[in-house]
Chain A
Amino acid sequence: MRAAEIGVWVMLGLLLVAIASAPRVAAQERKSVPPRDKDNPLTELISGYYFTPLKLRALQDDDFDNPGFPWVTQGEKLWMQIDGASQKSCNACHGSASESMRSAGATYPKFQEAARAVVNLEQRVNICRQDKMKATPWPYGSDSMLAMTAFLKLQSRNTPVDVQADGPAKETFEIGKKLYNTRVGQLSVSCGHCHNDHYGDSLRSELLSQGHSNGYPAYQAKSQRFISLHERFRNCFGDMRAQPYDLSSPEMVALELYLAWRGKGLPVETPAVRR
């Protein structure tokens, strides 16, 4: 072989090596975990984090930049604050939240014996406020409640969502499942049609996620607000031109339980940053 020919082959070889060893463009790399129940409608669980633009993910990843973090800080203050006729703070009974509230953020909604119903974290906080602290309950979606639940859920951050949908919670779970799969509104679409069947597709410029709740309460970039999960549900009902359920209603709690079950295994990300 002539020198020139050899040269060409060497060049081609080098080119091949370069292509093979170049870092792959992680355009749509989405970390997934397998569902923990075989009757989960999803075959892979992907957090809303991976459907969020990179710049917003960067905000979530840095506690100093995270626009939801002021609520966590406020929640920490409220934890230490004496409130109500009993003159107690949360800390007085529960001590350090990082110890006593380790799993609360990952295991609610759950069935509560005293209430004989499935309650979410917000309702559980109010049960404590009313019964033990003799303090006025905080409305769902109020800044105080957002702050407290953000602070509590932060204690479970990066641990897997792990709710119980069986036993006494089963009835509520079944209601939630039915609601999730019922077509509603003038547009007649169910949650599952978009979030089970079309995650990863784009609705105009909106990239559809799997619709998980692991990051809530979350900062919503498009409205520039820190919002609760039920408020996010209401946005969706509105988009379908459907009559939404009331905040903290039994239907919303049932949906919340179903959603948490469907996302079991995903890490708690509160306070998340979403579009």
Chain B
Amino acid sequence: MTGRADAMTPGRAGPARNRKRLLVLGLAALLGGASGALAGECKLKTAGYFKMLEAATPGTSPLEAKGVLRSLTGSLGDPQKGRLVMINADKGNCIACHRIAALSGEPSHGDLGPTLNGVALRYTEAQLRQLLINSKIFFPNTVMPGFHTVDGLERVPAAYAGQPILSAAEVEDVVAFLKTLR
């Protein structure tokens, strides 16, 4: 075997190729680390995490809010999964209170809240995300649950203690679906 670098020979490469590989590995590590820092699932179930998401001036209009700009998972949600979360009575159960024409396949939408038809034209993605996380920031007397918060919850049974109704991934999936409501 000669030491010559050859594209067809695995594992045998010159210093240039090795440098490239190192660079790619380094970049991957960086990206991985960054997305890990943003992922809400395993690490960040601390009060600080939920507090950070709720940062807003209470009582202001959601239309004026910056919202929560970054995806909670670091990636785009899946609108098809979001649709399932919204019609699942054990998850978002959104049609319990909101009429959504895009989900008209499901019967009997409730009317406690405003219709979500065209909601993506009214709010930015960041505002939608924040409304979903905990709309009490904007509407202190709302009947709407906070879907990604554990703040100020009382008498939560053990089965649900310390957990928000929707996971970070589910929030992103719902946001992705809401963005299609134009």
Give A residues with C-beta under 8 Å from B. 182-189, 193-194, 197-198, 201-206, 208, 237, 241-243
Contact with A along B143-171 (1 / 0, CB 8 A): 10110000011111100100111000000
Q: Do A198 and B157 form a contact, CB below 8 Å, given A186-B145, A187-B165? A: no
- What are 14 A-B contacts with C-beta separation under 8 Å? A183-B154, A184-B155, A186-B160, A186-B165, A187-B165, A197-B141, A203-B97, A204-B95, A204-B108, A205-B107, A241-B157, A241-B160, A242-B156, A242-B157
Q: Give min CB distance, B167 to chain A, whole Å.
A: 13
Please tell me the number of chain B residues within 8 Å of chain A, measured between CB atoms: 26
Is B110 located at the chain interface by the 8 A CB criterion?
A: yes
Is B96 located at the chain interface by the 8 A CB criterion?
A: yes
Nearest residue, chain B, Cβ from A198: B112
Q: Give min CB distance, A215 to chain B, whole Å.
A: 23
With a CB–CB cut-off of 8 A, which chain A residues contact B142?
Answer: 193
Nearest residue, chain A, Cβ from B109: A204
Q: Give min CB distance, B32 to chain A, whole Å.
A: 32
Nearest residue, chain A, Cβ from B150: A186
Complex: A230 Cα to B112 Cα, angstroms: 25
Which of A182, A183, A193, A237 is the most central at the interface, judged by chain B CB atoms within 10 Å of its CB?
Answer: A183
With a CB–CB cut-off of 8 A, which chain B residues contact A182?
Answer: 154
Instruction: Count A-B pairs with CB separation below 8 Å.
Output: 68
Among B96, B156, B165, contact of A203 (Cβ-Cβ < 8 Å) = B96
Complex: A201 Cα to B146 Cα, angstroms: 20
With a CB–CB cut-off of 8 A, which chain B residues contact A202?
Answer: 108, 110-112
Q: Give min CB distance, A269 to chain B, whole Å.
A: 26
With a CB–CB cut-off of 8 A, which chain B residues contact A237?
Answer: 155
With a CB–CB cut-off of 8 A, which chain A residues contact B153?
Answer: 185-186, 188
Please report whether the interface of chain A is mostly helix, strand, loop or mixed according to DSSP: loop
Complex: A241 Cα to B96 Cα, angstroms: 16
Are B157 and A197 closer than 8 Å at their CB atoms?
no
Q: Which 8 A-B pairs have the closest CB atoms?
A: A205-B108, A193-B143, A187-B145, A243-B155, A186-B160, A242-B155, A184-B155, A204-B96
Please report whether the interface of chain B is mostly helix, strand, loop or mixed according to DSSP: loop
Are B160 and A201 closer than 8 Å at their CB atoms?
no
With a CB–CB cut-off of 8 A, which chain A residues contact B95?
Answer: 204
Are A188 and B146 closer than 8 Å at their CB atoms?
yes
With a CB–CB cut-off of 8 A, which chain B residues contact A203?
Answer: 96-97, 110, 112
Are B154 and A241 closer than 8 Å at their CB atoms?
no
Q: A203-B110, A204-B110, A242-B157 are in contact. List 6 more A-B contacts (CB 8 A).
A: A183-B152, A186-B145, A189-B145, A194-B143, A204-B109, A243-B156
Complex: A197 Cα to B144 Cα, angstroms: 12
Complex: A70 Cα to B107 Cα, angstroms: 36
Q: Give min CB distance, B135 to chain A, whole Å.
A: 11
Among A186, A193, A201, A205, contact of B156 (Cβ-Cβ < 8 Å) = A186
In the complex, chain B residues 76-104 whose Cβ is within 8 Å of any chain A Cβ: 89, 95-97
Are B109 and A198 closer than 8 Å at their CB atoms?
no
With a CB–CB cut-off of 8 A, which chain A residues contact B155?
Answer: 184-185, 237, 242-243
Complex: A26 Cα to B108 Cα, angstroms: 22
With a CB–CB cut-off of 8 A, which chain B residues contact A184?
Answer: 154-155
With a CB–CB cut-off of 8 A, which chain A residues contact B136?
Answer: 188
With a CB–CB cut-off of 8 A, which chain A residues contact B154?
Answer: 182-185, 188, 242
Complex: A182 Cα to B112 Cα, angstroms: 19
Complex: A186 Cα to B108 Cα, angstroms: 24
Among B89, B110, B143, B163, contact of A189 (Cβ-Cβ < 8 Å) = B143
Are B141 and A188 closer than 8 Å at their CB atoms?
no
Nearest residue, chain A, Cβ from B146: A188
Q: Give min CB distance, A191 to chain B, whole Å.
A: 11
Complex: A150 Cα to B154 Cα, angstroms: 34
Complex: A109 Cα to B97 Cα, angstroms: 34
